[in-house]
């Protein structure tokens, strides 16, 4: 069988298609955020119950199943695993629109989490296999644009469809592009040889799960990266899940208005910030690799006060102005984090390493973030009314600052740990 040559054009196409698949992943995951108020009214739910369907119920299965699926992806066809997972989460998203009660909606959301568990880890590994360590942050940041593009589509399309046709129709329409992407991927997606960019293609055998776990935890900078990214993503998932409800409840906006505003802020602004994060990290990293970690930590510290002021603002316009900077920087950590993750592990560990990172990130990020905000909002409501939601979001910023400090610490040993990995 003739081995396909991965030209610059094929690499770009592969990254582009994987980014679109990740976009569908994120649209289906976050569509409920813009619909929470409508779902709450229709099904008479509490904020804690809403936190379950946006966070914990989805996150447990998404994070847990990612590890065995990635274990297979390091051994079997990553292309087929991505396509099967894409088809499954699209089907389960459509099923969410058919739910007639909370139990059915909860089960359908669990199904979405099961399907989405199998797309990201093999995608990360494929991209890392195509690009050298010094150039990885940029294509991985491009892949991370799926977050911003997904939120753009979920907020702007979901809000408009929900206001005009209902929340169930919004979910069903949003699910359809995933089926089209599955067909395109089946005929055009190419899986690069493992270790291609490291000049070790086909040399290594995928190790057992616990060997990868031990390697990751025993590497000092990797350990700090895992902790820091988890803390940051707790805040991120909490904010994404509840920002639409914050503007609708506290500042009296409609779902359509909020959808357009957040689509521009997070979708467009966040895309700019995410891409710049990858490009700047690659450029600074060529001079000193520690900037991959320092950049994330410093940006997190700088934007924290902007977030607090936005959540506590007295008017919707003021809140939007304060939150422009945090929404642009929200996913900036993604490119540098994944680039260093894949540089600190062997090529044959990459899918599993990504799954382990996502497991830790999401079991806490999805499991704690939206649920914690919902629980604090319920607890603060008797004293602060609807503004309790804004206070809850502001309190979460403290966790993000904590995570930024871990990135600064990770930079201290990063160069030494990369040298040790390359020597090994």
What band does 2 get if pLDDT is binned at 50, 70 and 90? very low
What does CATH list as the number for 8-192+205-423?
Answer: 1.20.1250.20
pLDDT at 346: 82
- Spans of all domains in the chain: 8-192+205-423
42-51, 75-84, 86-95, 118-127: range with highest mean pLDDT: 86-95
pLDDT in tens, 194-234: 777 665 554 556 678 888 889 888 999 999 999 999 999 99
Give 245-261 as a DSSP string.
Answer: HHHHHHH---HHHHHHH
**Which residues are CB-contacts of 389 (< 8 A; sequence separation ≥ 6)?**
47, 242, 245, 246, 249, 250, 373, 377, 380
pLDDT in tens, 147-188: 888 888 888 888 889 888 999 999 999 999 999 999 999 999
Please tell me which residue, 355 or 225, carries the higher pLDDT value.
225
On whether the CB atoms of residues 196 and 350 are closer than 8 A, the answer is no
Q: Report CA torsion sign: 360, 365, 371, 372.
A: positive
Q: By percentage, how much of the chain surpasses pLDDT 70?
A: 96
On whether the CB atoms of residues 144 and 267 are closer than 8 A, the answer is no
pLDDT at 199: 56
Give the mean pLDDT of 268-295: 86
Please tell me which residue, 349 or 220, carries the higher pLDDT value.
220
Give the mean pLDDT of 263-273: 82
What band does 1 get if pLDDT is binned at 50, 70 and 90? very low
Among 373, 333, 123, 127, which residue's Cα sits nearest to residue 230? 333
What band does 424 get if pLDDT is binned at 50, 70 and 90? low
Q: By percentage, how much of the chain surpasses pLDDT 90?
A: 36
Give the mean pLDDT of 71-98: 90
pLDDT in tens, 9-24: 899 999 999 999 999 9
pLDDT at 327: 87
Lowest-pLDDT range of 232-241, 386-395, 400-409:
232-241
Rounded Cα distance between 221 and 263, Å, is: 34
Average pLDDT, the chain: 87
**Which residues are CB-contacts of 322 (< 8 A; sequence separation ≥ 6)?**
306, 307, 309, 310, 313
Read off φ and ψ for residue 273, nearest 5 degrees. Answer: -65, -40
């Amino acid at each position: 069988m003739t081995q396909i040559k991965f030209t610059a054009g094929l690499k770009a196409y592969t990254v582009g298609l994987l980014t679109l698949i990740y976009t569908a992943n994120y649209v289906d995951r976050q569509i409920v955020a813009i619909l929470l108020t409508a779902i709450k009214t229709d099904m008479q739910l509490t904020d804690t119950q809403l936190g379950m369907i946006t966070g914990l119920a989805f996150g447990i299965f998404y994070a847990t199943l990612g590890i065995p699926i990635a274990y297979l992806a390091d051994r079997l066809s990553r292309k087929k695993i991505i396509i099967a997972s894409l088809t499954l989460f699209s089907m389960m998203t459509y099923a969410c629109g058919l739910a007639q009660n909370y139990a059915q909606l909860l089960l359908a959301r669990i199904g979405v989490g099961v399907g989405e568990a199998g797309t990201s880890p093999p995608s990360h590994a494929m991209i890392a296999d195509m690009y050298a360590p010094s150039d990885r942050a940029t294509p991985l940041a491009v892949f991370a644009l799926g977050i911003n593009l997904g939120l753009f589509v979920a907020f702007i399309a979901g809000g408009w469809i929900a206001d005009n046709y209902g929340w169930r129709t919004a979910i069903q329409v949003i699910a359809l592009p995933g089926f089209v992407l599955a067909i395109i991927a089946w005929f055009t997606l190419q899986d690069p040889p493992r270790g291609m960019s490291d000049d070790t293609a086909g040399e290594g055998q995928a190790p057992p799960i616990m060997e990868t776990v031990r390697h990751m935890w025993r590497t000092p900078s990797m350990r700090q990266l895992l902790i820091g990214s988890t803390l940051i993503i707790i805040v991120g998932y909490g904010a994404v899940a509840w920002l639409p409800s914050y503007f609708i409840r506290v500042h009296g906006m409609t779902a359509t208005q909020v959808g357009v505003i957040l689509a521009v802020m997070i979708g467009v602004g966040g895309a700019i910030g995410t891409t710049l994060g990858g490009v700047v990290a690659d450029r600074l990293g060529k001079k000193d690799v520690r900037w991959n970690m320092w950049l994330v930590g410093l940006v997190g510290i700088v934007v924290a006060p902007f977030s607090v002021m936005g959540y506590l603002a007295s008017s919707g316009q003021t809140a939007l102005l304060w939150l422009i900077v945090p929404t642009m920087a929200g996913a900036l950590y993604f490119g540098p984090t994944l680039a260093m993750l894949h540089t600190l592990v062997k090529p044959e560990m990459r899918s599993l390493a990504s799954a382990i990172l996502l497991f830790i990130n999401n079991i806490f990020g999805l499991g704690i973030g939206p649920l914690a905000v919902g629980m604090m909002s319920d607890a603060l409501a008797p004293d602060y009314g609807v503004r309790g939601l804004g206070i809850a979001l502001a309190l979460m910023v403290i966790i993000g600052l904590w995570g930024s400090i871990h990135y600064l610490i990770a930079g201290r040993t990063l160069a030494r740990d990369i040298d040790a990995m390359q020597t090994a």
